[in-house]
Structure 1
Amino acid sequence: MSALTVFRGRAGDRNERAMRGAVQLGEALARRTRLEPAYVSTPEPPLGHDWEPELSAARPGLRDMAETYERLLDAGTVPVTVLTRCAVALATVPVVARHHPEACVVWLDAHGDLNTPDTTGGYLGGMALSGAAGLWDSGLGGDLATGNIVLAGARDLDPAEQRLLDDGVIRAVELRPDFSSDLRAAVGQRPVYVHLDCDVLEPGIVPTEYRVPGGLDLATLRSVAEVLAEQPIVGVEIAEFEGSSEHRDAADALIDALDPLLQKRRVSLFGGYRH
C-alpha cells in the first residue's frame, strides 16, 4: 500500500506561500491518486531567522514527520509526500535511509542544500541534504550515505558545496542534452527515493520562492520520471511548491509530469519491490 502525507508546518520559511502550496498540491495529488491525505503539523507565521532558531522552532513538527515516516516504512508503505520546504527532508530522508540503506536518493534541485553550520549563509533549507547525510548534526539523524546521493539539476552552488562535488564526495548530474541518460547511469540498478524541489524547473513553470534560470521544462521532468521509474521507487517527496492564485493549473501540470513515478508506485506496491 501507499500513503499520501502533507507536511504543512513551518520549516525555515521566509513566507507563508509554501504552507498554502503544500495543501494545494496535496489536494491535487489526492484527486489523482485517490489517496486520503494525512496532514502533519499546522501552519504558523514564518520567523525569518537564521538556521538555528528556525530548526529549534521547527523541531516538534519535524519529529512528528519522522515518526510518521517510521510508521509508514515499518508497515511497508511507499510514501508519496508533499513538503513545505526542503528542510523537512531533515526528518524524512534519514528514516528512508535506515529502512532502505541500499536506496539511491535522487535530489532534484537547483541548489545543493549541502551547506553546514560552518559554511551556510544562515538558511536552514540550504543544509537539508547535508544534515540527512550526517555532515552536521541536526538532531534528526544523519543516516544517508553520501555514496547514495545523486544531486541532479543543481546550478546554483556555493563554493563549499562545489568542493564536495569536485572531491567526489557527492555525485552530481548536470543539466545537458543527455541529462536523463546520465541520470540513469548514476542511479544504476538501485531502488530510488525521489526528492523534487520545484525550483529545479525553469522559473515560471510552477510558483516557487527561488528562481534559477536554466532549469528543466515539464517534458524533461517527465523524461526524468520515466527513467527513474525503471527502478523500484521506495518513495517520492515534493517540496517548495508555493500557493498562487495566478498558477491554478500548475499543480496538475506538475503531477502530469511526475505521473510515471506515481504509476510505478502503484505497480511496485502489488507486484514489485519489497525491502
Structure 2
Amino acid sequence: MKKLSIIGMPMDLGQLRRGVDMGPSAIRYAGINERLHELFDEIDDLGDIEIGRPEVSVDSETGLRNLELIAEKTKILADKVDDVIASQSFPLVLGGDHSIAIGTLAGVAKHYHNLGVIWYDAHGDLNTPETSPSGNVHGMSLAVSLGLGHPALTTVGGDLPKIKSENIVIIGARSLDEGERKLIKDLGIKVYTMHEVDRLGMTTIMEETINYLKGRTDGVHLSLDLDGLDPNDAPGVGTPVIGGISYRESHLAMEMLAEANMITSAEFVEVNPILDEKNKTATAAVALIGSLFGEKLL
C-alpha cells in the first residue's frame, strides 16, 4: 500500500524576506492533494506545524538569526518526520525556507545508515557561523546536517552528523560563497553546477547521480529549493539567481528519479507567494512533485 503524508512547515525564520511562511498554503492552493490522488492509495495531509509570529532575534555570540527558535521548531519537524516514516508512509514536507531541512533530515536519518541527499538548489547551503556573510540559517542547513555549525542546530534530532559528505549530490549550483567552495573541495562533495547542466545535459547528470547514489545509500532524500529553477519559471523565491535550471529540465530530472524508484523522502522549499506571479512557483512545485511520484502523460 502506497501511503503519503504531507507536512506543512511554514517557517520563515531562516532568512529576512517575509512571505515564505505562506509557501505550504500556496502549494496546497495549487492542488497538491488533487494532483497526487491517483498516485497513492492513501494521502494524509497532517496540516502545518505551528510556528507562530515570533520576533526576530539575533544571537549575540554568533550573529545567527532566530537560532533558538529554529532549533525548537526543526526538532518538532524531525519528530513528525520520524513518526511518518515509522508508520511506513512517505514524508513530503512543504516549506518554508530551506532551514527546515535541518529538521527533515534529522527525522529521516534515524531510519537509514547511509542516507543519500540530492540537493537541487542554486545555493550550496554549506555556510557555517564563521563563513556566513548574512547570519541567515537557511544558508547553513546542509552544513548543519553534516554536523558543522552551531551545537543548537547540529544536535537537533541527536548529536551526530545526519549525513555523510560522500552521499550528497548538489544539482544546479550557481551561487556559492567562498567558505562553501572551500568546504566542497575539502570534503569532496559532488556538485553539478549550471556549467555541467549546460555542458552535459540533465539526462547525463541524472544518470550519473542515480548511479552514484544507488551503490552507496540505503535511502535518498530529495531537497528541492524552487530557486534551483530559473526565475523565469519560478519567480516566487526569496533568493532568485538568473541562469537556472529550466522547468522542462526539472521535469526530466523528477521523471528520471521516479523511474529509478530511489527517493524515500522529499521536501519542496522556498515558495514565496508574496514575490510570485499568479502562484506560478507553487504551481510549478506541484507539477514537479507529480513527476517525482510517477505521474505520466500517457
TM range (shorter): 0.7 to 0.9
Structure 2 match to 1:269: none
Which of 182, 203, 219 is residue 163 of structure 1 equivalent to?
182
Whole-Å separation in 1 of the counterparts to 2:22 and 2:273: 5
Alignment of 1:200-239 (within 5 A): 200-206=228-234, 207-229=236-258, 230-239=260-269
Matched position secondary structure for 1:37: strand
Q: Report which stretch shifted further, 161-170 or 17-26.
A: 161-170
Matched position secondary structure for 1:41: coil
Instruction: Judge conservation of contact 1:106–1:150 (CA < 8 Å) in 2.
Output: yes
Instruction: Judge conservation of contact 1:3–1:79 (CA < 8 Å) in 2.
Output: yes
Deviation (angstroms), 1:26: 3.2
Matched position secondary structure for 2:128: coil
- Residues 131 and 213 from structure 1, CA distance in 2 versus in 1: closer, same or farther, beyond 3 angstroms? same
- Residues 30 and 16 from structure 1, CA distance in 2 versus in 1: closer, same or farther, beyond 3 angstroms? farther
1:251 and 2:282 matched: yes
Structure 1 match to 2:40: none
What's the CA shift string for 1:208-262, capped at 9, x where partnerless?
A: 0111111011100001112222132201100100014632343223322332212
1:91 and 2:103 matched: yes
**What amino acid maps onto 2:33 in structure 1?**
A
Instruction: Judge conservation of contact 2:114–2:167 (CA < 8 Å) in 1.
Output: yes
Whole-Å separation in 2 of the counterparts to 1:153 and 1:251: 19
Whole-Å separation in 2 of the counterparts to 1:37 and 1:16: 24
Structure 2 match to 1:25: 27
Runs (4 or more) in structure 1 with deviation over 3 Å come to 48-53
Deviation (angstroms), 1:53: 4.4
> TM-score, structure 2 length as denominator?
0.81
Instruction: Judge conservation of contact 2:126–2:143 (CA < 8 Å) in 1.
Output: yes
Instruction: Judge conservation of contact 1:106–1:194 (CA < 8 Å) in 2.
Output: yes
Instruction: Judge conservation of contact 1:41–1:64 (CA < 8 Å) in 2.
Output: no
Structure 2 match to 1:187: 210
Structure 2 match to 1:37: 45
Q: Report which stretch shifted further, 216-225 or 160-169.
A: 160-169
Structure 1 match to 2:271: 241
Root-mean-square deviation (CA, aligned residues, Å) is 2.1
Matched position secondary structure for 1:105: strand
Whole-Å separation in 1 of the counterparts to 2:50 and 2:184: 34
Q: Report which stretch shifted further, 155-164 or 177-186.
A: 177-186
Instruction: Judge conservation of contact 1:108–1:197 (CA < 8 Å) in 2.
Output: yes
Deviation (angstroms), 1:58: 2.4
Instruction: Judge conservation of contact 1:8–1:19 (CA < 8 Å) in 2.
Output: yes
Deviation (angstroms), 1:30: 2.1
**What amino acid maps onto 2:182 in structure 1?**
R
Instruction: Judge conservation of contact 2:9–2:94 (CA < 8 Å) in 1.
Output: yes
Which of 121, 141, 148 is residue 135 of structure 1 equivalent to?
148
Whole-Å separation in 2 of the counterparts to 1:104 and 1:184: 15
Structure 2 match to 1:148: 167
> TM-score, structure 1 length as denominator?
0.87
Deviation (angstroms), 1:157: 0.4
Q: Report which stretch shifted further, 67-76 or 94-103.
A: 94-103
Structure 2 match to 1:67: 79
Deviation (angstroms), 1:187: 3.1
Deviation (angstroms), 1:63: 1.6
Deviation (angstroms), 1:201: 0.8
Structure 1 match to 2:291: 260
Unpaired runs of at least 5, structure 1: 265-275
